[in-house]
Structure 1
């Protein structure tokens, strides 16, 4: 049976879980993910795990934070005044906001998670939501399209 190689295009289904069992992403058979191996569409450790897989044979991998979305950085926690949100929303812990930030002279929209609301300030976390977590992926390749 054919095995996935570098540069192959594959269709996969998977479940991504945190150590506490929380599912952070699920890709079902009715809408599989199509990726070209080697194009950095998935974390490198996940792509490496897919290489050598056969269609229909599931595989489970666990990756450390530094192989996934990196560690959490305390300097990405910021305190913002509640008034900066205007009347458009009332920030609550756990809420994920789209925030505009400037980097290298360019505007970017990034997710920020509300950690705490205290008096007139809101603590937001600009770390990737999966940063600092061990991640478990249950992967199944459903189709392999070899490189021509």
Structure 2
């Protein structure tokens, strides 16, 4: 079966930086619902259209095609007293409101001092050119329930 709208695509992948350093690799196959459901990078989804099991894809993703440009305004210095835990460490993550917005975003602690905590709302790969490679391992029609929910159910996908 070829990859078309409303098909479930299963693949293995690797993600590298522009220098070829491996950043992430699937240990197990992953599955996503194909057809504009925002379950995979849109550029990758576009390139996978029409492929079938056994096909491979390699694509370079500019920041705007992956995790966006780095936005310095998403870096905030907060008083340590506003955090719900006392043992704050670099790498911890907290959900918080974006400055001047009702939108909630995930902030990562990047620095801790006696009185302040620096948090960054950018994705760790924001602003970076990435290389995405994958092999299609399976393609099947999506169930009506998967289409209605906008994501895959069962093995390699989401379960309720």
Tell whether the structures are fold-level matches, with TM greater than 0.5. yes
Please identify runs of 4+ aligned residues in structure 1 that moved more than 4 A.
none
Contact 1:96 1:111 in 2 (8 A): no
Counterpart for residue 7 of structure 1:
6
Q: Structure 1 or 2: larger strand share? A: 1
How many residue pairs match? The answer is 139
1:34 corresponds to which of 21, 31, 39: 31
Contact 1:12 1:34 in 2 (8 A): yes
Counterpart for residue 88 of structure 2:
90
Residues 107-133 of structure 1 deviation map (CA, whole Å, 9 limit, x = unaligned): x3x321222334522221111222211
Q: What secondary structure, in the 3-state scheme, does the structure 2 residue paired with 1:75 have? A: helix
Counterpart for residue 16 of structure 1:
15
| Cα shift at 1:45 | 0.8
Taking structure 1 as the reference length, what is the TM-score of the superposition?
0.78
Contact 2:14 2:22 in 1 (8 A): no
Structure 1 residues 54 and 87: alpha-carbon distance in aligned structure 2, compared to 1, 3 A threshold: closer
RMSD: 2.4
Residues 88-122 of structure 1 deviation map (CA, whole Å, 9 limit, x = unaligned): 32333xx1312232743x7x3x3212223345222
Structure 1 residues 147 and 80: alpha-carbon distance in aligned structure 2, compared to 1, 3 A threshold: closer
Task: Give structure 2 stretches of 5+ with no counterpart.
Answer: 144-160
